[in-house]
Structure 1
């Protein structure tokens, strides 16, 4: 079977009638812990996974961009750098690309055009950040092709700006930073306010399992936006710049100003950032007992305080937690479930998930056995 790089090269020849000059890639991601803390400017601990977007490119002498994707077959999409036009319909995949060039132009950067053939194996619409992989791969390609010498962090910032303002999808910086800056075999502890990051080596005895219960993604995203808006309202009530600044004393004193649900939302964000720092330390020390406890506390807070865990997710997460005990951790992550468990338990955990979810719902879960990959770059 052809890999994405080979597929991208073939797609390029099929659509443009010539060979591409270069290949670039960027990975998707799963977040270990730090749920709903990125847009609150707290701490997150994502890991890049071995699913990526690959772009085959050929340099042009003008400022035209032409792009085709295997995921959305059809006519070649075309636009000119600095003349992207209105990007009002965020349902079009190529608006992520137009957003990048528009954000670059607004930043005072200049770049000549490219012909692009895009192939990806990041599952779409599953919370594994296929959009960030596309953005970062494209931003990396432009930086190399035009010798802009942009740092990975700069590409991440441009990509976040593109998605937040150009495609009307306001987002935190986590997805773009992990796709751009990831190191193989490491997670990345990110401070979403300071934009500092620290690689965290994952214990080599752990398997990384991503479990997709095939939820209603539209309803999940509507709930996500509602929780985000609630956090912004709480921040305004408390007179803070973000919930990152919230302390236990402040929250206790302000309890009468908040509804019960607002209090619990704020409590989750405050404690989740604390748990994220503790989880990173536990992984660095290979303290799986502590890591398991922290992940379970995060799950309970997401379920009881933030109220974003469905009964089906709760059932599967609790089943895995009870089975692995102190030999791993499991929780929800952006609508999926992430489990980091001892290698020896991998097959049994997968079988447990398949059986427990099917017996509960009659449906099948989609399970990915992943590895922690490196960030974006040119494929040589």
Structure 2
């Protein structure tokens, strides 16, 4: 995490609370290489943590007060107490992500004390790179570090953060974003089994670049069709009599479709095929086979566009530009919840400048904006910087 971010958080802390912080913690955002919307279907995903995230400057208090200043929101301060009901503010308000995590930390029975926190982040918001999960996991890490909760594992922090997002913020997300933010490994993608929460580090080839391009089409998951897709997946699982679509293969999907609604069938087909693509991609990436990886990423994008219907015309165009510029030695696809946001591309590092130039010359959003390019590194998960 950058020194600049640490400086921003420290300055905000000192200005708001009048003393230097005792600790600094961080949690990264993530980009999902493949495996979209499979997480809440008990399936497989292949994300990596990235070197953009949330940094928190923090000090412990001896009372039950939690004070939080957000450097990215005009140094706005939120304050609440641990010995009173913790309630959400207006929908979409940034304090909800903090309050929700603290509420569910309390529910674990851990002996929480108050804290002063200053938040600073550099994950592009509304881009599908998990700025919210990064913030949630960083808050859990701050309390773990301040109070020495050694029993609070990275997976525990991810589950608490997910609960906050589901029940307090109101977005019915799966576990992927929070788990890779908590458990990411430098230099590797992370194959996650979203049923068992088992993870396997998949080393990234040393000469491969991860490029993320923001389409400048903003998206908002809570108000989008994300929850609708989840309900459709649950309806399909019920039709087939399985716990989740993870338990279905393509042959049975087609053979037993019966009178299943055609749209629900397409949604299920995306999940079933995407699970297999994700497992195949982990093998390809570990072998350094970028050609196979590119083919799997292309098939994933087509499935998201046609079966799951979560892309947008501008994003489709951006992915096409990336795929053409990269050629057969890598690939690109939409990444994130959909309805805008980012594309992710894998390519040999030697191609980065040519691909960046192709995006600059050929892509504009519906409002005329150029795409924003980020070249990322697979990074370590949450931890203390002290």
Query: How far has the Cα of 1:178 moved from its partner?
Result: 0.5
Mapped contact 1:88–1:167 kept (Cα < 8 A)? no
- Provide the C-alpha distance between the structure 2 equivalents of 1:107 and 1:350, rounded to a whole number of angstroms: 46
Q: Secondary structure of the residue that 2:225 maps to in structure 1? A: helix
Mapped contact 1:84–1:98 kept (Cα < 8 A)? no
- Provide the C-alpha distance between the structure 2 equivalents of 1:296 and 1:19, rounded to a whole number of angstroms: 49
Name which of structure 1's ranges 305-314 and 152-161 shifts more when overlaid on structure 2: 305-314
Q: Secondary structure of the residue that 2:291 maps to in structure 1? A: helix
Aligned positions of 1:198-237 closer than 5 A: 198-218=200-220, 222-237=224-239
Q: What do the CA deviations read for 1:54-100 (whole angstroms, capped 9, x no partner)?
A: 11111111121100001222552111225243226331111111111
Mapped contact 1:206–1:328 kept (Cα < 8 A)? no
The TM-score normalised by the length of structure 1 is: 0.95
Q: Secondary structure of the residue that 2:251 maps to in structure 1? A: helix
- Provide the C-alpha distance between the structure 2 equivalents of 1:61 and 1:82, rounded to a whole number of angstroms: 13
Aligned positions of 1:356-371 closer than 5 A: 356-358=362-364, 362-371=368-377
Query: How far has the Cα of 1:315 moved from its partner?
Result: 1.9
- Provide the C-alpha distance between the structure 2 equivalents of 1:285 and 1:55, rounded to a whole number of angstroms: 37
Q: 2:250 aligns with which of 234, 248, 251?
A: 248
Mapped contact 2:70–2:76 kept (Cα < 8 A)? no
Q: Secondary structure of the residue that 1:54 maps to in structure 2? A: strand
Q: Secondary structure of the residue that 2:111 maps to in structure 1? A: coil
Aligned positions of 1:1-380 closer than 5 A: 3-87=4-88, 89-149=90-150, 150-218=152-220, 222-334=224-336, 335-358=341-364, 362-380=368-386
Q: Secondary structure of the residue that 2:73 maps to in structure 1? A: coil
Query: How far has the Cα of 1:311 moved from its partner?
Result: 2.1
Mapped contact 1:42–1:191 kept (Cα < 8 A)? yes
- Provide the C-alpha distance between the structure 1 equivalents of 2:164 and 2:367, rounded to a whole number of angstroms: 39
Aligned residues: 380
Cα distance, 1:327–1:249 mapped onto 2, change above 3 Å: closer
Name which of structure 1's ranges 102-111 and 334-343 shifts more when overlaid on structure 2: 102-111
Cα distance, 1:42–1:74 mapped onto 2, change above 3 Å: same
Mapped contact 1:255–1:263 kept (Cα < 8 A)? yes
- Provide the C-alpha distance between the structure 2 equivalents of 1:4 and 1:361, rounded to a whole number of angstroms: 30
- Provide the C-alpha distance between the structure 1 equivalents of 2:85 and 2:26, rounded to a whole number of angstroms: 23
Query: How far has the Cα of 1:49 moved from its partner?
Result: 0.8
Mapped contact 1:52–1:133 kept (Cα < 8 A)? yes
Displaced runs of 4+ in structure 1, greater than 4 A? none
Q: Secondary structure of the residue that 1:266 maps to in structure 2? A: helix
Q: Secondary structure of the residue that 2:148 maps to in structure 1? A: coil
- Provide the C-alpha distance between the structure 2 equivalents of 1:345 and 1:272, rounded to a whole number of angstroms: 27
- Provide the C-alpha distance between the structure 2 equivalents of 1:223 and 1:137, rounded to a whole number of angstroms: 27
Cα distance, 1:87–1:49 mapped onto 2, change above 3 Å: same
Query: How far has the Cα of 1:249 moved from its partner?
Result: 3.2
Mapped contact 1:237–1:257 kept (Cα < 8 A)? no
Query: How far has the Cα of 1:180 moved from its partner?
Result: 0.5
Query: How far has the Cα of 1:2 moved from its partner?
Result: 6.0
Q: Which segments of 5 or more consecutive residues in structure 1 lack a partner in the other structure?
A: none
Mapped contact 1:38–1:173 kept (Cα < 8 A)? yes
Q: What do the CA deviations read for 1:293-347 (whole angstroms, capped 9, x no partner)?
A: 1111111111121122222222221232233222111100013100011111111
Mapped contact 1:28–1:132 kept (Cα < 8 A)? yes
- Provide the C-alpha distance between the structure 2 equivalents of 1:36 and 1:76, rounded to a whole number of angstroms: 34
